[in-house]
A = this chain, B = another copy of it.
């Protein structure tokens, strides 16, 4: 689409891949640091990848709407989970789409759906391809697959400055939509980890978790109306600030992961760029105290934009801390008024639970906004940098024989302590056992936790696992760990996902989690709108 091409496997652009020298240095560093990994294997170059011939003939009638070009197919064959990166690295693309469609407008989206329906093909709607749950991998046996990439629909169509809302096409990536909003002095402030590559439509389809750690935690809250193309017509809701007219149509599309329709555009709530910021880092000796601090802050209705709690080990791993204390990153922001008073209330609450806050950092309209890749001055800066770099780093881990994956959930406060302990224990045990690694000491796997989002009634814990990879058996290794962990999440009353979506990989646990009559209702709704079952079969529901 642009001169710069995304890697055919892994995270980011082709020109961002580390050189062999850098990889070798990284491998030594990893070995030194963790006591495992360190043996570099090169990724299979695209030229050497063998990919199944397309089972669909590219139709001549539609110009360049469809392509069967190898790079286009391979680069959309997998998502970005660890199990995807590993397979891509090895050059194993078992389920490449037969064709890739690149529609430019709604009418071309309709064309793709009707052509696929006539051909008996499935259609996988595709945004940034950053799914970590198998959401874009068409594992459909003999059924041909068209992956419909919506990234050509990337325009800011209309701005309503009075209502602070903008109509944006679904294929706009985070940077693309922010760049267009910036011209109007506005920002959406939806910054999931996938921000650089993922698209608005993908965020809506998967209920992405964004920038805000409290209050507007999911993109759900930023959506004013949605337009989706279904095989049975266009689904377009009215732009309304609030409504009580029947169940919300938007809330049925939010999280529908492409099975009901292809989201083509949305009106989203935007805001002026924040001018006033107030932030502080609070250190805790005891994790339980830090949890109580977070609970008090959110239950007080203070609604900080950032309220992320990093366990000591996680803080150290990301460079945000030295590993001696747990860190609570607090930040308030406003385009309207100073936020220092709110920060002070939050700090007071944190200190009443034994926290020690560093000096508040307060900035107003005159301050220069530090870019995210700028100088790292604070724990929050470090953490933010690490947050965006993590997916790049994972490619390196995979090359160096390190298993690197995350999983996340949400749980009410009453269950948190036991739940957290059980999940940590189960994960540590499963990772060590499955990986044949020691549980403690040098060479032991790392399992760390942070809280990404906080609510008056609970919190969203996010876990990171680093372990020695079983070379050649990485997928099975992780799948076994993931199954053990997911059982624990279900048993403990959590959700199988707070913001990573369901896709195909979370299905066994999602199916148990959702109410059976809701599953039946969803199945019936899909059968009605998509009777030929062309839309992303296998996701959320059986194909």
User: Which A residues have a C-beta under 8 Å from some C-beta of B?
Assistant: 160, 162-165, 206-209, 215, 217-218, 220, 224, 228, 230, 232-249, 251-257, 260-261, 269, 271, 295-296, 299-303, 334-337, 341, 345, 349, 410-414, 453, 455-460, 493-502, 506, 510, 513-518, 520-525, 527-529, 540
Q: Is A237 a contact partner of B515 (Cβ separation < 8 A)? A: yes
Q: Is B249 a contact partner of A255 (Cβ separation < 8 A)? A: no
Q: How far is the CB of A109 from chain B (nearest CB, A)?
A: 14
B residues less than 8 Å from A498 (CB atoms): 242-244
Listed by A's residue number, 6 A-B pairs whose Cβ atoms lie within 8 Å are A163-B456, A165-B412, A165-B457, A207-B244, A241-B411, A249-B515
A163-B235 in contact given A207-B244, A495-B243, A527-B524 (Cβ < 8 Å)? no
B residues less than 8 Å from A237 (CB atoms): 514-515, 518
Q: Is B238 a contact partner of A513 (Cβ separation < 8 A)? A: yes
* Cα A208 to Cα B243 with chains together (Å): 10
Q: How far is the CB of A156 from chain B (nearest CB, A)?
A: 16
Q: Which 10 A-B pairs have the closest CB atoms?
A: A241-B458, A521-B525, A300-B336, A524-B528, A251-B251, A241-B455, A207-B244, A249-B518, A524-B524, A235-B517
Q: Is A300 a contact partner of B162 (Cβ separation < 8 A)? A: no
B residues less than 8 Å from A514 (CB atoms): 237, 245-246, 249
B residues less than 8 Å from A411 (CB atoms): 240-241
B residues less than 8 Å from A523 (CB atoms): 528
Q: Is A252 a contact partner of B521 (Cβ separation < 8 A)? A: yes
Q: Is A246 a contact partner of B241 (Cβ separation < 8 A)? A: no
B residues less than 8 Å from A247 (CB atoms): 251-256, 522
Q: Is B234 a contact partner of A334 (Cβ separation < 8 A)? A: no
B residues less than 8 Å from A506 (CB atoms): 245
* Cα A230 to Cα B518 with chains together (Å): 10
Nearest residue (CB) in B for A527 is B524
Q: Give the residue of B256, B493, B497, B525 whose beta carbon is less than 8 angstroms from that of A238.
A: B493
Q: Give the residue of B162, B413, B458 whose beta carbon is less than 8 angstroms from that of A414.
A: B162
Q: How far is the CB of A357 from chain B (nearest CB, A)?
A: 17
Q: How far is the CB of A140 from chain B (nearest CB, A)?
A: 20
Q: Give the residue of B162, B233, B243, B520 whose beta carbon is less than 8 angstroms from that of A295.
A: B162
* Cα A524 to Cα B251 with chains together (Å): 17
B residues less than 8 Å from A255 (CB atoms): 244-248
B residues less than 8 Å from A303 (CB atoms): 303
Contacts A164-B299, A249-B514 known; list 7 others, CB within 8 Å.
A160-B457, A215-B215, A236-B515, A237-B518, A239-B493, A243-B410, A244-B255
Q: How far is the CB of A253 from chain B (nearest CB, A)?
A: 7
Q: Is B528 a contact partner of A521 (Cβ separation < 8 A)? A: yes
* Cα A529 to Cα B516 with chains together (Å): 10
Q: How far is the CB of A236 from chain B (nearest CB, A)?
A: 5
Q: How far is the CB of A128 from chain B (nearest CB, A)?
A: 16
Q: Is A460 a contact partner of B515 (Cβ separation < 8 A)? A: no
Q: Is A301 a contact partner of B336 (Cβ separation < 8 A)? A: yes
* Cα A405 to Cα B119 with chains together (Å): 56
Q: Is A334 a contact partner of B246 (Cβ separation < 8 A)? A: no
Q: Is A458 a contact partner of B240 (Cβ separation < 8 A)? A: yes
Q: Is A497 a contact partner of B243 (Cβ separation < 8 A)? A: yes
Interface centre among A207, A269, A301, A499 (most CB of B within 10 A): A301
A218-B242 in contact given A235-B517, A529-B521 (Cβ < 8 Å)? yes
